[in-house]
Amino acid sequence: MAHKFSTSYVEDSLSLFRYYKKLGEGAMDQLSDEQLFAALDPEMNSIAIIVKHIAGNMRSRWTDFLTSDGEKPDRNRDTEFEHPPSTRTELLRVWNDGWNCVFSALEPLSDSDLGRTVTIRGEPHSVMQAINRQIAHYSYHVGQIVFLAKHLNASGWKSLSVPRNKSAEFNKKVQAGEASQR
């Protein structure tokens, strides 16, 4: 994704969310169906569980974003870590449904909305604080997805950013306008 100069916080936030969505999808695309559901040990989450958790959080935080608490009364966070979707198709449906909640809530906003107050678990947040909180949360979990995917597909891994030992080559492409910096 090409970097675009922006002075709009909402526009930049949407760009970051789209970047993390694409990064997660790039990682999951490199895995077999079996690998999406593999956990490295009994205390670890599989990528499927992480996706289920992120999607549950997204539904809760972004549905009726400006008008209801970001922790919906029907959310049971603990169950997000149990019984993931059973197929890649279902997993990607859950993933996309979650991201659709994010984009549906944020796309209509403008920077003039940033000072409005929303609540998460009864605590007031400015819209900007709520967005920051979720960017940090989703980037954390997408990082887990990428880490697990890279581990599970080590020999077949295709870099999602600057490949190891290829910085000079990448920088030349950036200077020539052939590569994305983000």
What would the CATH number be for the domain defined by 9-175? 1.20.120.450
Question: pTM for the full model?
Answer: 0.89
Contacts of 164 (CB under 8 A, 6+ apart): none
Q: What is the 3-state secondary structure (H, E, C) of the chain?
A: CCCCCCCCHHHHHHHHHHHHHHHHHHHHHCCCHHHHCCCCCCCCCCHHHHHHHHHHHHHHHHCCCCCCCCCCCCCCHHHHHCCCCCCHHHHHHHHHHHHHHHHHHHCCCCHHHCCCEEEECCEEEEHHHHHHHHHHHHHHHHHHHHHHHHHHCHHHCCCCCCCCCCHHHHHHHHHCCCCCCC
Domains of the chain, by residue range, sit at 9-175
Residue 39 CA to residue 42 CA, distance in Å, equals 7
pLDDT reported for residue 177: 67
Residue in 11, 42, 19, 60 with CA at minimum distance from that of residue 142: 19
pLDDT reported for residue 3: 60
pLDDT reported for residue 104: 98
In tens digits, what is the pLDDT along the chain, a chain of 182 residues? Answer: 456 777 899 999 999 999 999 999 999 999 999 999 999 999 999 999 999 999 999 999 999 999 999 999 999 999 999 999 999 999 999 999 999 999 999 999 999 999 999 999 999 999 999 999 999 999 999 999 999 999 999 989 999 987 777 677 766 666 676 666 54
Q: Contact 70/130 with Cβ under 8 angstroms?
A: yes
Give the pairing of strands 117-120 and 123-126.
Answer: antiparallel
